Amino acid sequence: MYFIHGPGSTRKDVRVVKSFLDLGMLSFICGKPGKENHFLHSAVRTKSYTIIHTLLVCGIPSSIQDKYGKTPLSIAVEVGNVGAVKALLESIHVDINAKDMQQRTALAIAVEARNLDVLNILLGSTEVDVNARDMWDRTPLWLAAWKGYTDVVTILLYREDIEVNSEQTNKDCNQHETPLAIACCCGHVSVVQKLLTDSRVNVNTRNTKGLTPVHSSVKQHFSEIRRLLLAHPSIDVLSTCDTGHTSLHTAAEFGNLVAITQLLCHPQVVDPNITTADGWTPLGMATANGQEEVVEALGKDKRVDINAVAGEGKTAIVLAAERMWFQGMIALLRVGGVDVYKQGREGGKSFMEIFNVQCWAIRKLYQTKL
């Protein structure tokens, strides 16, 4: 069937196809499901519009699948054949939501290809499932957010039936993020900005570890995304993850100075001495993890209790001394009001007890401070 594979079709091609059909060879032309290739699939790939039209008019099944599970429609979408997409959608028996071996619908393929013309055509059908999931449990909106396709996200959000907070729940991939969460993790600022304009979006969604989009923006050091999130009227800045950490604790742990500065200025952060379930303050966490700039920033905030007892039952200055972290001790000693005699939990040692016993360098440092 050489004529199928040409760049176009002629009247002779049409007569040949019709002659096959008149001879009762429909099953030969159609082929069996699961076959590597079919005439209709080939016609779609080569943009042989007359052949496509003739085959469809003569009753060739429009949703027959090849061995990869691809239908003529999914192939048309994949190669960007707008004419074939329109022709196939006009076919009575087309299944617009048919899935390939990866469980992708034509809509999902259009999203991945970022083909806006095809996307709009598919969304014009009342039969299209805008929330169909692939084998990795990803919806079209999730895919668009993950890839950073703001234009695609914008088009999809016009749909009233779109699931804006759908979670990718495949246990082998990611952490059950929503479209907003995955966009935050990937640093797609414009996508985040667009999603935040939709009132249906949950800005405080939590993944399998309890991390919110704010937590993710702190861990990934995406300051612009964090700025957008913190400005949202529904944001819960002090939402805790499964380990009891707020975004302030996360910023302290990972040494994100910009995040610390942004968070300390937020109206919801009234008390920066907030503790985790096991008693860690942001200052204690920053000290334990050797985050010098964060320790300095927290020390300058008058609301921070410089002598608060942290998770190990010790003050920040004791934590720094036990770890022989000189930069941390310097930063803390420069803060007024450090109680060098304070013991944490019962039986614990104070800073003075540590430097009197363990290290002349610490003593010299303290004498310099005095």
Of 183-187, 220-224, 230-234, 345-349, least confident by mean pLDDT is 345-349
DSSP classification of residue 309 = B
Higher pLDDT, 351 or 35: 351
pTM (two decimals) = 0.84
Which of 224, 238, 303 lies closest to 275 in space, CA to CA?
238
**Average pLDDT, stretch 3-21?**
51
Of 176-185, 205-214, 261-270, 321-330, least confident by mean pLDDT is 321-330
- Report for 68-72, 91-95, 279-283: range of highest mean pLDDT: 279-283
Tokens of 47: 């943009």
pLDDT band (50, 70, 90) for residue 238: very high
d(CA 245, CA 302): 22
Instruction: Look at the block and give the residue holding tokens 């691809």.
Output: 70
The total number of structural domains in the chain stands at: 2
Q: What's the first-to-final CA gap in the chain, in angstroms?
A: 95
Q: Is residue 151 in a domain?
A: no
Burial class from Cβ neighbours inside 10 Å (0-12, 13-18, 19+) for residue 131 reads middle
Domain range enclosing 312: 237-369
Q: Is the pLDDT of residue 206 over 70?
A: yes
Q: Is residue 30 in a domain?
A: yes
Q: Is residue 193 in a domain?
A: no
Q: Is residue 50 in a domain?
A: yes
Residue 264, domain CATH? 1.25.40.20
Q: Is the pLDDT of residue 5 over 50?
A: no
Q: Is residue 218 in a domain?
A: no
Q: Is residue 42 in a domain?
A: yes
Q: Look at residues 129, 157, 183 and tell me which one is the last residue of a structural domain.
A: 129
pLDDT digits (tens, 9 = 90+) for 19-64: 655 545 545 455 555 555 577 777 778 776 777 776 776 667 677 7
Q: What is the pLDDT of residue 369?
A: 54
Q: Is the pLDDT of residue 4 over 50?
A: no
d(CA 128, CA 124): 8
pLDDT digits (tens, 9 = 90+) for 93-135: 889 999 999 999 999 999 999 999 999 999 999 999 999 999 9
Q: Is the pLDDT of residue 16 over 60?
A: no
pLDDT digits (tens, 9 = 90+) for 239-269: 999 989 999 999 999 999 999 999 999 999 9
d(CA 84, CA 77): 9
Q: Look at residues 129, 161, 193 and tell me which one is the last residue of a structural domain.
A: 129
Q: Is residue 182 in a domain?
A: no
Q: Is residue 278 in a domain?
A: yes
CB 60 within 8 A of CB 30: yes
